[in-house]
Amino acid sequence: MPHKALILVDLQYDFCPGGALEVARGDETIAVANRVARHFELVVATQDWHPADHGSFAANHEGAEPYQVIDLNGLQQVLWPVHCVQGTRGAAFHDDLTATVTKVFPKGTDATVDSYSGFWDNGKRKPTGLAPWLREQGVRAVYVLGLATDYCVEFTALDACGEGFATFLIEDGCRAVNLVAGDGERAIDDMRSSGVVVVESAQIA
Ligand code: VGL
Ligand code: ZN
């Protein structure tokens, strides 16, 4: 039984340079994912997978602009450019990703609520099934990397801790949106404060 799993967060074209919600040097995470994946028997991937009418898209709110914050069904929501629409090229995993992924967990499929975490929607109402699935595989520790540090990676790592997994962040395998300068660093500090162990990919044996 593998006791550890690697969680690849949103390694999709829309979060890479040239994508709809591009993260600076986001594509550099792919090589790190491929390199560390060799040390894991179990690799899972989250996939941001929105319907075109998703409530997190500025385009779906009259008069709204991307990066504005609104109340979306009772939750604070940053409005994003249209991204990761189901079935589009932007929603696809990067072709350079060669890691063998055992199972993909789509998220953000409900138009009424965003889902940064690979475990729960932002209202913590509906689970994706990732936690029970990992437990069934005998996993006790998870290693997290991907895009973006200050959103989906942070929420995924914090929920992993909350679900009782020993949680490691592979720092050099992540890149941040940095809507506000320093957001990525603050996210890492928050994760560390919550019990996430921050490591570098070179430390993974
Ligand atoms: C993400 C914003 C919107 C992410 C996804 O993967 O970090 N960020 N949707
Ligand atoms: Zn999204």
Domain count, the chain: 1
Length of the chain: 205
> Which atom of ligand 1 is least distant from the CA of 153?
7
Any domain includes 97: yes
Catalytic residue among 4, 10, 27, 84: 10
Any domain includes 75: no
How does pLDDT run across 157-197, given as a tens digit for each residue? 999 999 999 999 999 999 999 999 999 999 999 999 999 99
Residue 107 is among the residues annotated as catalytic for this protein? yes
B/e letters for 11-39, b = 16+ CB within 10 Å, e = fewer, are bbbbbbeebbbbbeebbebbebbeebbee
Any domain includes 61: no
Any domain includes 158: yes
* Closest listed residue to residue 78, CA positions, set 125, 12, 122: 122
Separation of first and last alpha carbons in the chain: 18
Any domain includes 101: yes
Residue 53 has pLDDT above 70, yes or no: yes
Residue 174, domain extent: 4-48+82-203
Any domain includes 132: yes
pTM of the shown model: 0.98
Question: Measuring from each residue's beta carbon to the nearest atom of ligand 1, which residues come in under 6 Å?
Answer: 10, 15, 48, 80, 147-148, 151-152
User: What CATH number corresponds to the domain at position 138?
Assistant: 3.40.50.850
User: Atom 4 (ligand 1): residue with closest C-alpha?
Assistant: 152
Task: Starting from the CA of residue 80, give the closest ligand.
Answer: 1
Residue 174 is among the residues annotated as catalytic for this protein? no
Task: Starting from the CA of residue 117, give the closest ligand.
Answer: 1
Compute, in angstroms, the gap from residue 23 CA to the centroid of ligand 2: 13
Any domain includes 108: yes
Any domain includes 144: yes
**What pLDDT was estimated at residue 175?**
99
